[in-house]
Structures are given as structure tokens and as C-alpha cells.
Amino acid sequence: MADLLQRLIVHIADFVGEVGGDLPKTKLVKLLYLIDTNFYRYFRRILTEARWFYYLYGPYAHEIDSAIRSIEGYDLAESQFLSRRGRKGFAYKATIEEDLRDILPLDGRQVVYNTLRRWAIEDLNSILDHVYFDTPPMKGARFGEFLDFSKIPPVTARAERERRKEVPIPRERMEELRRRYWESVDRRRQRAAQVSVVLPVFDRVYARAVELLGNEEMSDLEGLRGKSIEITDGARQALSEQS
């Protein structure tokens, strides 16, 4: 799962950069934590498999430092800054695009996306307030101890449908839709089986012209010399098919 954590970090940096936000390390850590809390709510496990504990600025995991070191300078660019209190900090930007499609199924990516869509452009103080006071693992947590994610209640069926954008369809309605579908299939099959043949219209002038063209003794069309011949559209089409 180490590779997933590394790529998830790059994905977060890529997402935040795309929406015009900044990503100091504290914000990166808290976004990873919020992804894990939301993921646990749906799947009853931590996505990153990080061992979260209560540290100086709330939830923290040492695995994040190792992951950053392994990709910094490659897929992740690190910069330094000074905080308002004169403390040195680090911020990150992705140097590649990362979408996680090949290592995380759609429902997992949806949890990640929904979390980032909600929090990526929030200011750090708002994120910290939510993490400290609104996430179950932090409630009653003691400094230095591992956080208990089992405090997170499982997602309700309604919330799951909202996440998937699903609307339940009554059984009767589903049967009606199924019946109408197969009726439309049968109608299309019947129309495809009907072959309509349209024969060209042969008038007297056309018949006489064909007769003369087939007669070697009158190949110069003597019988029609000096006469005006009008060919209908149907005859013209038939002649083109004969040539």
C-alpha cells in the first residue's frame, strides 16, 4: 500500500493545484486523514493503511514522511516558506498528473474525489477546526495515542445512494421498463426483416429504345431519327442500372 500512499499524495497535490489552492504539509496531512475517515465510513478500513495518532497538530502518521521522501524531487516538488510566526514550513506541488485509475476502483476514487472537492480549497484553519472537533477518531483522543477509527459510524443506505447518485426504482416500475424495452427490440427486429423492393417504371419510349439498342440491324436507331425522346426519371435510373 506504500505505492498507493505515494500516488495519493501526488494526486492530492495535483488536485489542489488544479483548483488554484496551496498545499502546505499540515494541509496535506489533514486531507489524507479526511480521506481515510471518509473511506472508513464506507468500507470499514483505512485506505492509506497509515497508523494515525494524536500529535502536535492533531492526526499524524509517520508513513507520510517516508512517502514524501520517496517521491520528492520526482513526482512532487517541495518548497520552503516562513509562517507568520517565523517558523519554517514546507509546501508541495505535483509535477505530473495522477488519477489513481489503475490502483483504485471507481467507488474508492469517488470517496477521494468527494473529499477533495469539499476540502481542497478550504483555508487551513477551517480544515483544522473540522478535524479537531467533528471527526469521531479525535473525540476523546489522548495526545500520543493511536486514533480509533471504529468510532466512525457506518454509512447509511440513503447516504450510500447519494454518494453513488442512485435513485431506487420500484419493482413494478422496473418490470414495466423491462417489458417496454423488449417490445421495442421486437419491433426493430420485425422492421429489419421486412425487405421492400421498388421496381423502376418502364414507359413505351424506354421499351422501344431498349428494343432498338438490341437490334443489330437498326443500331443507328433509324426508327427514332428526327424524333424527340423524353426519358422519365424512372427510365433514366433503369438505364443507368443496365450500363
User: What pLDDT, on a 0 to 100 scale, did the predictor assign at position 124?
Assistant: 93
Question: Does the pTM of the predicted model rise above 0.85?
Answer: no
What's the CA gap between 160 and 171, in Å, rounded?
20
Report in angstroms the alpha-carbon separations of 143 from 27, 59, 61, 107, 120.
Answer: 20, 10, 13, 33, 26
Alpha helices in the chain (DSSP H): 2-18, 25-43, 62-71, 106-119, 124-134, 157-164, 171-193, 204-213, 233-242
pLDDT value of residue 179: 74
Confirm if 6 and 71 have CB atoms less than 8 A apart: yes
CA distance 243 to 239: 6
Q: Are 155 and 41 in contact (CB under 8 A)?
A: yes
Per-residue pLDDT at 218 = 47
pLDDT in tens, the chain (243 residues): 569 999 999 999 999 999 988 999 999 999 999 999 999 999 999 999 999 999 987 999 999 999 999 998 889 999 998 877 788 899 999 999 998 999 999 999 999 999 999 999 999 999 999 999 999 999 999 999 999 999 999 987 666 666 555 445 566 666 776 677 677 767 777 776 765 555 566 667 666 766 666 664 444 545 555 555 565 666 566 656 655
pLDDT of residue 85: 79
Answer whether 80's CB lies under 8 Å from 89's CB: yes
d(CA 40, CA 45): 5
